[in-house]
Structure 1
Amino acid sequence: MKTQNIELLAAYWTIAGDIYPMGPTEVSPYSFEDRMEAAGNAGFKGIGLVHNGMMDTVDKIGYPAMKAILEKNGIKHVELEFLVDWYHTGERRRQSDKVRQELLEAAKALGARSIKIGPGIGEDTADIDLMVKEFTLLSQQAAEVGANVVLEIMPFSNVRTIETALAVVEGANQPNGGLLLDIWHLQRGGIDFNDITKIPARFIKSIELNDAHKYAIEPLWMDTIHKRVLPGDGTFDIPAFIKAVQAAGYEGPWGLEVLSDTHRKLPLELMANRAYETTISQFGK
């Protein structure tokens, strides 16, 4: 396949620097302007922003300046993350609703493509009826600001199979509601890439690429936040995943989410350039 029509999106952690999810801080040591410039110069057409880091930037420079920086650097796809507890109640829901409102406001201000949401991490079973109801509501709220809602399949959660994920998004049946397929979560979760064809194209809303070593460290959560490597540096069959996603009808930008305890320590420009070059090289194989 020719690569000139492939647009890559650098998920937040890919070029955020020496930080990680739920670490001492989720705020990048690099400024928003420097990160967007590095991403644009490397060739990325999209970027991911995580809630805590994004709100820090909003406080410092505001949405209009952020929007101008994105446009200056040719960044046209923006994905926001990460909403959890969106179907729970009580204090967990109260905290979730605050994040929800801020993500929706950001989506409107920045013209975001998608809002990434998590399943029940650490939960064994999914209350499908409840999740369908709440996913429907969230999707309708996101539609008002022009954004998709993308539910991520995760092996250490209550949405760890394609069947469960489809039960939620098909049950809700919202035009802007769908799934995020991350190769790490599918591979580590034992999902055959051929099973991606079970997903109707309209429900595949976002994709994330990365790679990892043959054997995961335990617990699996530590593997996902510290040991993901650049495409081609691990053992995943990335071309097979790409072909399966394309065969299923996906035509959007391709995200790259690397959470590596070595990659994150590289200088910003080197992080961005390596990330782009290794990923784009996976297409056409």
Structure 2
Amino acid sequence: MSVDILGAYWTTAGPVQIRTGREWSLFDWPDRCAEAKRVGMSGLGIWHTDLEHLLERYSLAEIKQIFDDSGLRDLELEFLNDWFVPPGDEKRVASDGQRDLLFEAAAALDAHHIKIGNLARSPATVERLTEAFGELCADAANRHGAPLTYELMPFDINAASLEAVLRIVGGAAAPNGGIAIDTWHLGKMHIAPDELRAIPPEYMTYVELSDGMQENMPDHSQETTRFRRLPGEGEFDIPGYVRVLADIGYTGPWGVEVLSDALRELPMPEMFQRTVDTAVDQIEKGLKP
């Protein structure tokens, strides 16, 4: 079975310090691309701070050439916060600068998608989010061909449910707007695989696999950034999610986003190989007739 695996940024970046320090990777871009090719990945992800760091050494054209020369196809860009904050607000000013960075990169790198959401936990109504998502998608359509994916997650203080995210994406009804599903978030939100059948196929844009434990740790922020598990090494029904998502028409790459201290400590070859091996095993179980 041929399976497309996208190594998300936090899975393949190595020993970074999420939210607390250096977020850009010590692994050089050519080395990441070469390792992805070796283990059979179809693509990689780039976080916005890592992109800024890469641009100190490479042009966008050079980043694209290195990626293409490695035979990779699927490139993820993330993450855009505060795109719905009123214009003129200092958060929106920073967000607009980040938008320009990601949109320019999406055009030059032929990105598979750009992930957006509300990791910053800025407040807004669902109505405002719907309006702003439509505006953001319209701007994106004029600047690049990559769809925008709204990530469903329990940390979103405005839309912490599948129903709410569907209201936003469906209400905007943008051809280039969809949903990003992460199985770690699904597990923590107690969303069963069959509940995903509510997602219209046209909005099912991107999927990430990540495992974990049902019982929450005391510090949820630390749990999500330090203690996730590779697919099949936790308690979530990864094959069940894969099966339903394939049933509703998802045909894109399967991202693997595992934010884990243990994974970050591994040598680069082992980190990449285990990412692919565990993901392929769970996907094949889910897609087995």
Normalized against structure 2, the TM-score is what?
Answer: 0.94
For the pair 1:181 / 2:181, whether they are aligned, the reply is yes
Match of 2:282 in 1: 282
Separation in 2, partners of 1:126, 1:234: 34
The number of residues matched between the two structures is 281
Letter in 1 for 2:160: R
Match of 2:242 in 1: 242
Match of 2:146 in 1: 147
Letter in 2 for 1:103: L
SS of corresponding position for 2:205: strand
SS of corresponding position for 1:9: strand
SS of corresponding position for 1:180: strand
Separation in 2, partners of 1:208, 1:195: 17
For the pair 1:133 / 2:135, whether they are aligned, the reply is no
**Residue from 44, 47, 58 that aligns with 1:47:** 44
Separation in 2, partners of 1:214, 1:84: 28
Q: Aligned-pair distance for 1:72?
A: 1.2
Q: Which runs of 5+ in 2 are unaligned?
A: none
SS of corresponding position for 1:284: helix
Separation in 2, partners of 1:15, 1:42: 12
Q: Aligned-pair distance for 1:186?
A: 1.0
Q: Aligned-pair distance for 1:126?
A: 4.8
Shift in CA distance, 153/79, structure 1 to aligned 2, threshold 3 Å: same
**Residue from 60, 67, 79 that aligns with 2:76:** 79
Letter in 2 for 1:18: P
Q: Aligned-pair distance for 1:120?
A: 5.9
Match of 1:34 in 2: 31
Match of 1:116 in 2: 115
Q: Aligned-pair distance for 1:220?
A: 1.4
Q: Identity over aligned residues, as a percent? A: 36
Aligned runs of 1:215-226 on 2, under 5 Å? Answer: 215-226=215-226
SS of corresponding position for 2:258: coil
Separation in 1, partners of 2:90, 2:121: 18
Normalized against structure 1, the TM-score is what?
Answer: 0.95
Q: Aligned-pair distance for 1:219?
A: 2.3
Q: Aligned-pair distance for 1:101?
A: 0.5
Aligned runs of 1:63-102 on 2, under 5 Å? Answer: 63-89=60-86, 90-102=89-101
8 A Cα contact 1:14 1:259, kept in partner: yes
Separation in 1, partners of 2:265, 2:119: 30
Q: Aligned-pair distance for 1:179?
A: 0.4
Q: Aligned-pair distance for 1:192?
A: 1.8
Shift in CA distance, 88/126, structure 1 to aligned 2, threshold 3 Å: closer
Q: Aligned-pair distance for 1:283?
A: 2.1
Separation in 1, partners of 2:64, 2:119: 32
8 A Cα contact 1:114 1:149, kept in partner: yes
8 A Cα contact 1:9 1:46, kept in partner: yes
Let me know the Cα RMSD of the aligned residues: 1.3
Match of 1:254 in 2: 254
Q: Aligned-pair distance for 1:129?
A: 1.8
Deviations 1:140-167 (A, max 9, x none): 2222300100001111212211110011
Separation in 1, partners of 2:113, 2:121: 24
Shift in CA distance, 214/131, structure 1 to aligned 2, threshold 3 Å: closer
Separation in 2, partners of 1:283, 1:82: 26
Bigger Cα displacement from structure 2, 16-25 vs 237-246: 16-25
8 A Cα contact 1:116 1:149, kept in partner: yes
Letter in 1 for 2:155: F
Separation in 2, partners of 1:126, 1:92: 13
8 A Cα contact 2:166 2:199, kept in partner: yes
Q: Aligned-pair distance for 1:243?
A: 0.5
